[in-house]
């Protein structure tokens, strides 16, 4: 059996989730953000699922991912039905999960070279 060391490729990696924020590569962030392989849009103006609208998810859909991971909080919840329908009409998969689960899943999808984006929602403290 051949074993190889997994080394990050040419993409962002979520390193840590804390109560104060999220560490991507070597930088920590305390505001919601949109994350892709080589995309990092900070200061995404979403603090909860209630803030999601067709306007606020447009930056996610503009990049035409195959799937969007929405990560929020410590318990799985879902955005309003209208927002879910917007993803469906755009032909983009939507996965809603906790913030930590979205971060882990993002890292796995990046290692598989998938066209995925993560909308990581951090509440205002």
Does 86 reside within a domain?
yes
Does 13 reside within a domain?
no
For residue 62, what are the domain limits?
Answer: 32-121
- 15: pLDDT strictly greater than 70: yes
Count of domains observed in the chain: 1
pLDDT band at 7 (very low <50, low <70, confident <90, very high): low
Does 24 reside within a domain?
no
Looking at residues 11-39, what average pLDDT do you find?
94
Task: With H, G, I as helix, E, B as strand and everything else as coil, classify residue 125.
Answer: coil
Q: Is the sign of the CA dihedral 23, 97, 92, 110 positive or negative?
A: positive
Query: Domain of 102: which CATH number?
Result: 3.40.1230.10
- 6: pLDDT strictly greater than 70: no
pLDDT for the residue numbered 124:
74
Does 6 reside within a domain?
no
pLDDT, tens digit (0-9, with 9 covering 90-100), for 27-65? 999 999 999 999 999 989 999 999 999 999 999 999 999
Q: Is the pTM value of this prediction over 0.85?
A: yes
pLDDT for the residue numbered 83:
96
Does 10 reside within a domain?
no
What mean pLDDT, rounded, does the chain reach? 91
Does 1 reside within a domain?
no
Does 2 reside within a domain?
no
Complete edge-to-edge strand list for the sheet that includes strand 27-29: 14-18, 21-24, 27-29
- Cα–Cα distance list, 50 to 47, 81, 87, 110, 123 (Å): 8, 11, 16, 28, 11
């Amino acid at each position: 059996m051949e074993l190889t060391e997994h080394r990050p490729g040419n993409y962002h990696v979520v390193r840590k989730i804390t109560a104060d924020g999220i560490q991507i590569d070597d930088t920590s962030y305390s505001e919601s953000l949109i994350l892709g392989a080589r995309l990092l849009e900070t200061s995404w103006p979403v603090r909860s699922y209630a803030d999601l609208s067709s306007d606020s998810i447009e930056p996610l859909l503009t990049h035409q991912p195959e799937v969007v991971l929405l990560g929020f909080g410590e318990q799985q919840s879902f955005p309003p039905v209208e927002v879910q329908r917007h993803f469906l009409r755009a032909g983009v998969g939507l996965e809603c999960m906790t913030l930590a689960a979205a971060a882990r899943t993002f890292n796995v999808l990046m290692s598989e070279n998938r066209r995925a984006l993560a909308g990581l929602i951090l509440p205002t403290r």
